């Protein structure tokens, strides 16, 4: 637990830019990453060049990172297409309701017509 706490602290310090690794330890990728969030057992880092987010954790003495390749892909359906689909669904629901109300109104009309026919037949 002590190693994990120290790891999270150092990762946070690297992310804030307060501590930089020695020049010999720097790689071309060193400036590419930004620490987004750090918890007791995980660190989320952003690759500023690609937009990829990685979740890193310690596995013994090794740091294991899992990337988010799905997060980089644009959605299959655009916002406009989703809005159009929602509008089509609302319009279909309205049409369904109108058909129901037309049937209900026709039923009420037939009741009134039957009542009027019955009333005119009794009046004779």
Along the 124 residues of the chain, how does pLDDT read in single tens digits? 666 666 766 666 566 554 455 544 444 445 788 888 888 888 888 888 887 888 888 888 888 888 766 555 666 778 899 999 999 999 999 999 999 999 999 999 999 999 988 888 765 5
Distances (CA, A) of 72 to 51, 53, 61, 108: 7, 9, 29, 58
- What's the pLDDT at 109? 95
Residue 119 token pair: 């009333």
Distance, CA of 46 to CA of 85 (rounded, Å): 33
> What is the DSSP code string of 33-61?
EEEEEE-SS-EEEEETTT--EEEEEEETT
| CA 57, chain centre distance (Å) | 24
User: What is the reported pTM?
Assistant: 0.35
């Amino acid at each position: 637990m002590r190693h994990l706490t120290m790891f999270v602290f150092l990762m946070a310090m690297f992310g804030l830019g307060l501590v930089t690794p020695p020049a010999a330890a720097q790689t071309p990728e060193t400036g590419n990453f930004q620490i987004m969030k750090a918890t007791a057992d995980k660190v989320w880092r952003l690759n500023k060049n690609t937009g990829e987010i990685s979740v890193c954790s310690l596995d013994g003495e090794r740091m294991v990172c899992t990337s988010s390749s799905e997060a980089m892909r644009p959605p299959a359906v655009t916002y406009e297409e989703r809005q159009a689909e929602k509008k089509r669904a609302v319009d279909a629901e309205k049409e369904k309701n109108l058909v129901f109300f037309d049937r209900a109104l026709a039923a009420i009309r037939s009741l009134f017509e039957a009542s009027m026919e019955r009333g005119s037949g009794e009046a004779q």
